[in-house]
Amino acid sequence: MEQQANYFGEKLKKCRKKRGWSQEKLANELHASRQAVYKWEANKGYPDIQNLIRISDLFGITIDELIRGDKKCRRR
């Protein structure tokens, strides 16, 4: 399991690019701003739970797969 601090942003960017979507296209799908998508991909913030669910549904991956590898989201 990848344990880099920037796991979420990289995963989101990879999923978006795999679809051939721009940040603006993803933002439109999520009813968010392009700046918000940029921020998430740059690991300068995280989407709220509603957008995490939407991202999970859009890309057919679990929320766990989106954030599990991110140290900022894991607690022991």
CATH code for the domain in which residue 15 is found: 1.10.260.40
pLDDT surpasses 90 at 69: no
Residue-level pLDDT at 73:
52
Residue-level pLDDT at 67:
86
Residue-level pLDDT at 30:
97
pLDDT surpasses 80 at 72: no
Is residue 2, in this structure, part of any structural domain at all? no
Dihedral angle over CA of 31, 39, 22, 58, nearest 10: -50
What are the pLDDT digits (tens) for 5-43? 578 999 999 999 999 999 999 999 999 999 999 999 999
Q: Are 37 and 27 in contact (CB under 8 A)?
A: yes
Q: Are 58 and 12 in contact (CB under 8 A)?
A: no
Is residue 44, in this structure, part of any structural domain at all? yes
Cα separation, 23 vs 74, whole angstroms: 26
Measure Cα distances from 60 to 21, 38, 41, 50, 71 in Å. 15, 21, 18, 15, 22
How many structural domains compose the chain? 1
Residue 42 domain boundaries: 7-73
